[in-house]
Structure 1
C-alpha cells in the first residue's frame, strides 16, 4: 500500500474517491492494496473477445437500421414531420426512439460509406448532388464482461457505447499505481494502452507510429468538411447536476488527451449549449445574458445520454441542425447512433438473434430476449434489465424463479425490458467479504485498448452499480 495514495490519486484526477454511505461510514471507491493478476494468455482471450464483440455489434447495427423505413430514399422523401415509423414497421420506434431522430441516427451510422450516403436533396435536374460522405467521429466505448479466468469464455453483459465512465481510473490511476508499487516486471505489465491510443505515439523519435483517435477522427472529419480549420476547436460538455465530480473529471481527461493531440479545447456545461433561432446554429453561451458573446460550435463531445437529450425541449432543433444538406451543422461526439443502436440493452436480443447459433462468435453471448417475448418465459434464471438504463438501475436478478437482488430506480418506467440468461459474477473473498468483479474492456476508435475492473460486495454486488469499487490489475 502506497503512503499518501489518496492525495496521489486526487492529484491525478480521481477527485471523486470518497463518499459517505447512508449509515454514515466513509466509502473509498479506489481499493488500495488489492489487485488482480492475469497471465498474458488470459489478456489475449479478453482482447479477442472485445474485438469480436465489436464486429458483431456493427453487424447488429446494420440489422437495426434495415428495420427502419427511413433508411431508404423514399422513406426520407416522406419528410421530416411525416410519421412513417411505428412499433410494427420500425425497430427504433419499437424501443422508444422518437421518430424525428431516426434519419440522423441512420445518416451518422452510414457516414464515411459513399455507397450508402443518405442524400437529402436533388439538384434542379433531378440528380443526386455530388457530395462526399460526411464523417461522425466516435472515440471510445466499454464492454462489461463476465470472466472467471483460464478455462472460461468471456461473456457480454452489456455495451456502454456512448457515455462510459471509469475512464480516468482505467487509463491513468491504475497505471501510476502499478508504476509506483512495482508489483510486476512482466513486459506487458498491464493491459492498458488507452492514453496512447487516444493521443497517438511514434514508433521511434521522428518516425510515424499511430496518429491516435483524435487526430485520425478529426482528419477524416476535415476531409468531409474542408471548410473546418486544420485544428478545429473541440468543446467538451458535461452535466453539472452530477455533483460527485465524476462526469466533470472524465470529460476533463478526454479534453486533456485531445489537447495533447494538438487541438484547441474548452470545457463547458450542458446548460451553456444554446440555440440561435435566426442563424439556425448551435452556440456556446458563457452565461445567461451574454448571448452577444456566444461562439458557434462546430465540434462538441458531450457526456450526456442521447436518450435524455432527444426528449428535452430543443432536441428537434439540434437534430434539424445536424440535417443541414450543406453539412455545416454541429458535429456531436459520440454520434446519435451510439445510443440508439449500440448503447441500449435492446442490442442484447438482437445480437443473440443474429449470432446465438454461431459456435465461434455466439460463445461470447448469453441468451437474451425482449421481456414480452415467448422465449423470455423459458428462462428460469435471468437478469431483467430496462432497455434504457444506467449504472445497474432497475435491474433484477432471478435464480430458479426467485429474485435474489434488485436495484429499484426510475429507469424502465416505459415498460421496455430485456431478459438475459443469468450468469452470476465470479465470487472471491476480499478484505470485507465476498466480492464480485466485472471486466470493463475499453475500445478506443473501435480497437481493444485496455481494462478496468469494478468489484461489488455481497449479494447486492452481483449487480454492478455506481457504489462498486475500482480495483487495479497487472499482467504476471
Structure 2
C-alpha cells in the first residue's frame, strides 16, 4: 500500500474518491492494496473479444438503421411533411426515439457512404437539397464484459457507447499505481494504451507512429468540412447537476488529451450551451445576460445522454442545426447514433438475433430478447434491464424464477425492457466479503485500448452500480 495514496490519486484527477452511502457510512471508490493479475494470454482473449464485439455492433447498427423508413431518399422526402415512422415500421420508434431525430441519427451513422446516404440531385420541388458526404467523429466507448480468467470466454453484458466514465481511473490512476508500487515487472505490465491512443505517439526506428484519435478524427472532419480551421476549437461540456465531480473530471481529462494533441479547448457546462434564433447557430454563452460575449460552437464533446437531450425543450433546434446541407451545423461528439444504435440495451437482442447462431462470434454473447417476446418468456434465470438505463438502475436479476437483487430507480418508466440470460459475475473472497468484478474494456477510435475493473460487494454487488469499487490490474 502506498503512503499518501489518497493525495496522489487526487492530484492525478481522482477528486471523487470518497463518498457517503445512504446509511451514512463512507467508502473509498479506489481500493488501495488488492489488484487483479492477468496472463498475457488472458489479455489477448479480452482484446480479441473486444475487437470482434465492436465489429458485430457495427453490423447490428446497420441492421437497426435499415429498419427506419427514413433510411431511403423516398422516405426522407415523405418525412419532411408527415410522420412515417411507427413502432411496427421503425425500430427507432419502437425503442422510444423521437421521430424528429431519426434523420440525423441515420445521417451521422452513414456519413461518407455515397451508396446509402448521399444524393447529388435536387428533387423537382426543391425539398431535398444536394447532400455531400460529411464525417461524424467518435473517439471512445467501453464494453462491460463478464470474464472469469483462463478457460472461460468473455461475454458481453452491455456497451457503454456514448457516455462511459471511469476513464481517469483506467487511463491514469492505475498506471501510476503500477509504476509506484513496482508490482509488475513484465515488459507489457498493464493492458493500458488509452492515453497514447487518444493523443498519439511519434514514430521510432522500426516502429510507425500514430496520430492518435483526436488528430485522426478532426483530420477526417476537416476533409469533409474544409472551411474549418486547421486546429478547430473543441468545447467540452458536462452536466453540473452531477455533484460528485466525476463527470467534470472525466470530461476535463478528455479535454486535456485533446489539448495535448494540439487543439484549442474550453471546458463548459451544459447550461452554457445557447441558441442563436436569428442565425440558427449553437453558441457558448458564458453566463446569463452575457449573450454579447457568445461564441459559435463548431465542434463540441458532451458528456450528456442523447436520450435526455432529444426530449428536452430546444432539442429540435439543435437537430435542425445538424441538418444544415452546407455542413455548417455544429458537430457533436459523441454523435447521436452512439446512443440511438449502440449505447442502449436494445442492442443486446439485436446482436443475439444476428449472431446468436454463429459459433465463432456468438460465443461472446448471451441470449437476449425484448421483455415482451416469446424468447424472454422461456428464460427462468435472467437479468431484466431497461432499454434506457444507466449505472445498473432498475436492473433486476432473477435466478430460477426467484429475484436475487434489484436496483430501484427512475429508469424503465416507459416500460421498455430487455432480458438477458443470467450470467452472474465471478465471485472472489475480498477483505469485507465476496466480491464480483466486471471488466470494462475500453475502445479508442474503435480499437481495444485497455481495461478497468469495477468490483461489487455481496449480493447487491452482482449488479455493477455507481457505489462499486475500482481496482487496478497487472499482467504477470
Q: TM-score when scaled to structure 2?
A: 0.98
**8 Å CA contact 2:191, 2:450 repeated in 1:** yes
Summarize deviations over 1:415-462 as a string: whole Å, max 9, x none.
Answer: 000000000000000111100000000000000000000000000000
Summarize deviations over 1:255-309 as a string: whole Å, max 9, x none.
Answer: 0000000000000000000011100000000000000100000000000000000
CA distance in 2, matches of 1:131, 1:462: 48
Summarize deviations over 1:141-180 as a string: whole Å, max 9, x none.
Answer: 0000000000000000000000000000000000000000
Summarize deviations over 1:304-324 as a string: whole Å, max 9, x none.
Answer: 000000000000000000000
User: What corresponds to 2:350 in structure 1?
Assistant: 350
CA distance in 2, matches of 1:89, 1:120: 27
Once the two structures are superposed, the pairs formed by residues 233-272 of structure 1 within 5 Å of their partners are: 233-272=233-272
Change (3 A) 1:336 1:286: same
Change (3 A) 1:420 1:123: closer
CA distance in 1, matches of 2:64, 2:446: 19
- Using the TM superposition, give the Cα deviation of residue 329 of structure 1 relative to its aligned residue in structure 2, in angstroms: 0.2
- Using the TM superposition, give the Cα deviation of residue 202 of structure 1 relative to its aligned residue in structure 2, in angstroms: 1.2
Change (3 A) 1:414 1:130: closer
Summarize deviations over 1:382-417 as a string: whole Å, max 9, x none.
Answer: 000000000000000000000000000000000000
**8 Å CA contact 2:120, 2:132 repeated in 1:** no
Range with bigger deviation, 455-464 or 13-22: 13-22
Change (3 A) 1:131 1:387: closer
Summarize deviations over 1:320-369 as a string: whole Å, max 9, x none.
Answer: 00000101000000000000000000000000000000000000000000
- Using the TM superposition, give the Cα deviation of residue 123 of structure 1 relative to its aligned residue in structure 2, in angstroms: 7.3
Summarize deviations over 1:171-207 as a string: whole Å, max 9, x none.
Answer: 0000000000000111110000000000000132898
CA distance in 1, matches of 2:351, 2:230: 39
- Using the TM superposition, give the Cα deviation of residue 134 of structure 1 relative to its aligned residue in structure 2, in angstroms: 0.2
Summarize deviations over 1:53-98 as a string: whole Å, max 9, x none.
Answer: 0000000000001100000000111143520000000000000000
CA distance in 1, matches of 2:277, 2:119: 25
The number of residues matched between the two structures is: 476
- Using the TM superposition, give the Cα deviation of residue 115 of structure 1 relative to its aligned residue in structure 2, in angstroms: 2.3
Summarize deviations over 1:226-249 as a string: whole Å, max 9, x none.
Answer: 000000000000000000000000
**8 Å CA contact 2:129, 2:325 repeated in 1:** no
**8 Å CA contact 1:120, 1:325 repeated in 2:** no
**8 Å CA contact 1:111, 1:133 repeated in 2:** yes
Range with bigger deviation, 314-323 or 122-131: 122-131
Q: What root-mean-square deviation, in Å, do the aligned CA atoms of Structure 1 and Structure 2 show?
A: 1.6
User: What corresponds to 1:116 in structure 2?
Assistant: 116
- Using the TM superposition, give the Cα deviation of residue 21 of structure 1 relative to its aligned residue in structure 2, in angstroms: 1.7
**8 Å CA contact 1:35, 1:473 repeated in 2:** yes
CA distance in 2, matches of 1:26, 1:193: 32
| Secondary structure in 1 matching 2:423 | coil
Name stretches of at least 5 consecutive residues in structure 2 with no aligned partner. none
CA distance in 1, matches of 2:82, 2:162: 28
CA distance in 1, matches of 2:127, 2:345: 40
- Using the TM superposition, give the Cα deviation of residue 116 of structure 1 relative to its aligned residue in structure 2, in angstroms: 2.1
Range with bigger deviation, 464-473 or 128-137: 128-137
CA distance in 1, matches of 2:241, 2:26: 22
